[in-house]
Every structure is written in structure tokens, then in C-alpha cells.
Structure 1
Amino acid sequence: MLRTDWTLDEVKALYHQPVLELVTQAAAVHQANQSTGEVQVCTLLSVKTGGCPEDCSYCPQAARYHTGVEVHALLKDEVVLEAARRAKDSGSTRFCMGAAWREVRDNRDFDRVLGMVTQVNDMGLEVCCTLGMINEYQAERLKQAGLYAYNHNLDTSAEHYSEIITTRTYDDRLNTLENVRQAGISVCSGGIIGLGETDEDRIAMLHTLATLPAHPESVPVNALVPVAGTPLAEQPRVSVWEMLRMIATARILMPRTMVRLSAGRQEMPVSEQALCFLAGANSIFSGEKLLTTPNPDFDADKQMFATLGLKPRKSFKDMPQGATVLG
């Protein structure tokens, strides 16, 4: 049974179990609710890079930090569509387009993104966007264009949030998730560990996600990739045991959610990634970059899939029988 009434104490008790017991419990939940030999391969493309006015302490795309990221305007449609075709040919079934905007504005660039959404959707890919904050009207327009999923991460706990970002509030994040949900778009929302937060912050973030009116269909678990020039450049690498606790707890709390092993995978050997799949992760981002940070390429992931006996998940698998892709 899916629960959205978890208490903070319940989440804390799950999270703080001995790690092998936690992973064993999560693996059982995973097996009961998911196809355990199946992992969704997603590709994320930065369609508009850099120059963002926000002050997210981890982000190399913030205009105020000197990180060497080149600013570029919205990519041409043909460049984006060719990237989507390459991703599909390499085994991706979800294509996500990210723009370094604080919020969506109703202008020509947004109209162009809507056109890209429709064309990528027509390729048979689940199309996802992460464009910053959106209102109800913009969410509806994205839905009508054929958007399958919208990503908007909580990043961390409500309590730790102001230590990481001051240019928007936690409620702003939650409001965008509500607008996405109300439009009938699949919700993708998770967080980043390694931001200087405590275990209590990680637990609180998981609790927030698991007690939303409905569980997000997708929860990315990101390990910080420290970037020179950002305030968090000197943060230590997150260990596999920390990732395992997050993934396993997320899997138990949200049994039918796709749990995505996201940023930080470049530094993880196959053995560590295998533990994450055992603990309940069933999605990865593949391709040379995750927006602007390094990521394992398709060939490396194909080799890992062969080694572990994994197969890629098909597009639109969770859609009801007979449903049309456009909403």
C-alpha cells in the first residue's frame, strides 16, 4: 500500500538502520513493486546554458560565480532534435531539456521550447523539461505540447535551504510541483547530498517528498559534483554508503517511484552503482554531460548493463492502456 502519511520518526528509523539491513529491506520492496532487471536510461541536454540570476551554491551556471561555463542562448531546434535522435539510438527512452532560467517567461523562447517538446514527443521518447519555476498556465501549455515529465528538485530540507539558495524560497519549489501535478504532468523531484547538510536534513527532505499529496513519479538522488568557482567547491565527495542510505530509504517510502541514480555517477565504479541498483535505483542519466558536469557515456553504460544483466526500460511504460501520449 502506498503511504503519504509517513511520520518524521518513521523515516528517521528507516534511514538509521544498519546499512545492510536497510538495503535488504529496500531490495524486497523494490522486487515487490518494480521490474528489478530493468533500468530506465535518460539523457539530459542543456538547451540554454549559464547566465542564471539565482545563487544556488552548487551550480556552475549561476552568473555570479566564475566557473568557466560558457553562456549560450537557447539552442536551435535542429541541434536539440539531433541530440534527441542520438539519445534514442543509444538506448535512452527519456529525453530531458534543461534551461538555466530562474522561471519560465511567456515569450518566444518558451514558445520554441514548446515546439521542441512536441517534436521530441513525436519521436516516441518521454520528454521532460527542467526550466525553473512555472505557473499553472505554463504547466498547462507544456502538457498540451506533449510534455511527459517536469523536473524541479527540492535540493535539500526546508531547514537547510536558505544556506544553499537565497534567491527563491522552499515554498516556491513546492508551488511549482503543485502546478505540475495539477496539469497532469509526471512529477520529477529529488535532491542533492553533499551540500554540507546533516543526516536530519536528508531525512527531512525524504519525508517532504514522501508526504506530498502523491509521490513524485521520479526522485533523482544526486551526489554533489563540486565545481571550482562555486561556494561548495571544496566539499568532500559523497560516499557510496551515503548514497545507499538515500536510495534505499526513498525506495521503501515510495515503492512505485522511479529512483534515479543521478549526478555523481561519474566517480562511482560499477560495483558501487550495482549496490545502488540493488537498493532500489532503477534509472540513470547517460551521455557525456549532465547539463555541464561530466557523466558516463552511452558505451560505458551499455557495458555496465551487460555486466549486471540489466535491460533498458521502455518509454511510457506507466501510462494506462489505451491512453494517448498527448494530454
Structure 2
Amino acid sequence: MISLESVTQIYHQPLLSLVFEAQSIHRQYQPIDAVQICTLSNIKSGRCPEDCKYCPQSARYPTAVEEYPLLPLAEVISQAQAAKQQGATRFCMGAAWRNAPDGEDFERVIEMVETVAGMGMEACVTMGMLRPDQAQRLAQAGLTAYNHNLDTSASFYPEIISTRTYRDRLDTIKNVAEAGIQVCCGGIVGMGETEGDRIELLHTLANLNPKPESVPINALAPVTGTPLGDLAPIDPLVLVRMVATARILMPRAMVRLSAGRDRLSASEQALCFLAGANSIFASDKLLTTTNPSWQEDKDMFAKLGIVSKELV
């Protein structure tokens, strides 16, 4: 167990010292100048019964998000092939459900996982709460990772979501880990939380057993119609601090620079990479929000001398 006091001390270091420590650890455990490209597909959109205040896919908020049922397998295969051609090695499939369904929809997701894994890509799914038996089925299908973010600290969580508890989230993470699937678990900054909340989130993540193999660090993408739609963008240096602290606490994890990249300059992203981020989500859209284009990311990689991380 790492103490909350230790995490606080790491997080509050002078930024340059924090980034130096994170980069030193990064070089011990991770390939240098290599960043994994992931793509996230919205395989089922909108009409979610949850009340997550940041999410335009909640049925409770008047957003202009496109609504559609689970995509046909052929369309998902086409998206995965296109992403692979662009250099993505991980294909993530997100479905706006409160919990993973049973019956035909679940069987269709299983088929998608088998197909993506069969293409030689890492397959990741996020579709809400998951029972142990569902996790086992996904593992058998070849699922690499299951994403289930904690979003924020346990203290601030009730301010953001009331329809699902923090314990519910931890239970799903436990079910995923026990099935032998990699845990992809991170959070969102810029939702009105305090610095203490960010530190508490990192403390919780670092003490998960096993530690998450994948840690997405998201900046809130405010969407009109949601309760958090009017919030100002977070200072990019907060993201740098989050990434660096995550890298020090979880040296073997993939730290993924996720939502909110469209508001970061190449220089700000470079600082995040220096702090230990070694993965991005690339594609023109990130679920329902904007994202840098493939070409913008290729230009940035060329400018920084970054190569796409290949699967081992």
C-alpha cells in the first residue's frame, strides 16, 4: 500500500522536478520515444439511463448527440481495419449502457472482440458494469482489456454521479482482473474537483490490486446540455502533473493521454509525453467529442521524433 501522504508529496513537487523523476522512471520501464496509438469506436450511442454529469450520452440531458443501437459487425470491422492501416494497435469499443447486456447484444460484442483480436490488434471494451460470468466470456473471446474508469475521487464522486456507486465501479474492476483481463482504469480532471480529489484518485488507482495496466487521463470535454457544459477548460499543466504522478506510481502501466487533446498544443502534449504519457487515442472523433485528426497526430509525431509503439 502506498500512503495518501506519499502520493501528496509526489504530486506537489516542483513541476520540473516531478517531470524529471517521472521521465527517469519512464526510461527504466518503457520504450523511449514510443507512443501507442489507440482508436475508440462508439459502437452504441446515447440513451444511457445513468446521470454522469459530464456525459452527453445520458438520456437525462438535452444534448445533440446522435443516438443509435449496437452497430453491425461489418461496420465495426471496417472501422478497426481503417484504424490499423493508420497505425493503431489497440481498438477500443465503447457502448453507452449502464451495465453489459445479456442475450443477443452481448453475443454480438463477443463476436466483435473475437474479430478484432483475430486481426492482431489489442481489443478493449467499455460497456458499463460487468458480472464475473460476463468477464469470463469476454476473456475467452480474447479481450485484451476492459475499460472502467473511477472518474474521480470517492469523496467527489457523489457530486458527479448518483445512479451508480463507487463500490459498483470497484466491483466491476475486481471482476475484470479476476477473469485475467487487463484493467484499464483512470479518471477525468476539470469537473470542478479539488487538487485533493485528484491526489485521492491517483492514490486509489495506485493501490488497486493488481495495479491497472492502462491508465487513461482525461480532461473534461464540456458538452452543451450537460450539467458541466459551461465549465472552463482545465490548465494543461494539471494534466502534466497527473500524468507524471501516475507514471511514478504505476511505472509499468500505459498512461494514456485521452479526452481533451484537441485543446492541447503540440508543445503541451510533448510535455505530457515527457512526463510519462505513452499512448493517445487517435481518430477524428473520441466517442462524441472532437479529437485531433490523424494527419495532425502524424505531423506531431514527426515533429517530436515519436514512433508508434508496436505490439510486443
CA distance in 1, matches of 2:292, 2:283: 6
Is the counterpart of residue 161 in structure 1 residue 153 in structure 2? no
Give the superposition deviation at 1:296.
Answer: 1.1
Q: Percent identity?
A: 58
Distance 1:142 1:228 in 2: 35
The residue matched to 1:53 in structure 2 has which SS? Answer: coil
* Structure 1 portions without partners, runs of 5+: 318-327
Aligned residues: 312
Deviation at 1:149, TM superposition (A): 0.5
Q: State whether structure 2 residue 243 is matched by structure 1 residue 251.
A: no
Equivalent residue number for residue 273 of structure 2: 277
Distance in structure 2 (CA, Å) of the matches to 1:278 and 1:70? 36
C-alpha contact 1:36 1:282 (8 A) present in aligned 2: no
Structure 2: how far apart are the matches of 1:147 and 1:172? 21
Match of 1:170 in 2: 166
Superposed CA deviations along residues 177-225 of structure 1, whole A, max 9, x for unmatched, are 0000000001100000001100110000000000111210000000000
How far is the alpha carbon of 1:19 from its aligned partner?
Answer: 0.9
Deviation at 1:163, TM superposition (A): 0.3
CA shift at 1:105, angstroms? 1.9
Two-structure CA RMSD over aligned residues (Å):
0.6
CA deviations 1:120-151 (Å, max 9, x no partner) are 11100000000100010000000111101100
Task: Specify the SS of the correspondent of 1:42.
Answer: strand
CA contact (8 A) 1:130 1:150 kept: yes
Q: CA deviation at 1:297?
A: 1.7
* Aligned match of 1:308: 304
Distance 1:313 1:241 in 2: 25
- Please say if 1:55 is aligned against 2:30: no
For 1:125 and 1:213, the matched residues in 2 are separated by 26
Aligned position for 1:241: 237
5 Å-filtered alignment, 1:198-209, equals: 198-209=194-205
Amino acid at match of 1:245: R
Equivalent residue letter for 2:274: L
Flag structure 2 segments of 5+ consecutive residues without an equivalent. none
Contact kept, 8 Å, 1:149 with 1:188, in 2: the verdict is: yes
Match of 1:138 among 116, 134, 137: 134
Residues 1:103 and 2:99 are matched in the alignment: yes
Residue 88 (str. 1) matches residue 88 (str. 2):
no
CA distance in 2, matches of 1:147, 1:192: 24
Q: Secondary structure at the match of 1:195?
A: coil
**CA positional deviation for 1:93:** 0.1
Q: Could you tell me how far apart the structure 1 residues matched to 2:32 and 2:280 are?
A: 14
| Code of the aligned partner of 2:240 | L
The list of structure 1 runs, each at least 4 consecutive aligned residues, that deviate by more than 6 angstroms after superposition, is none
- TM-score normalised by structure 2 residue count: 0.99
Q: Map Cα deviations across residues 90-134 of structure 1 (whole Å, 9 max, x no partner).
A: 000000000000001211011001001101111000000001000
- Aligned partner of residue 237 in structure 1, secondary structure: coil
Distance (whole Å) between structure 1 residues aligned to residue 225 and residue 304 of structure 2: 37
Q: Select which of 118, 125, 131 maps to 1:129.
A: 125
Tell me whether 1:21 sits opposite 2:6 in the alignment: no
DSSP-derived class of the 1:206 partner: helix
For residues 92 and 70 of structure 1, the distance between their equivalents in structure 2, rounded to whole angstroms, comes to: 25
User: Are 2:250 and 1:261 equivalent residues in the alignment?
Assistant: no
Normalising by structure 1, what TM-score?
A: 0.95
Q: Which of 174, 184, 190 is the equivalent residue of 2:186?
A: 190
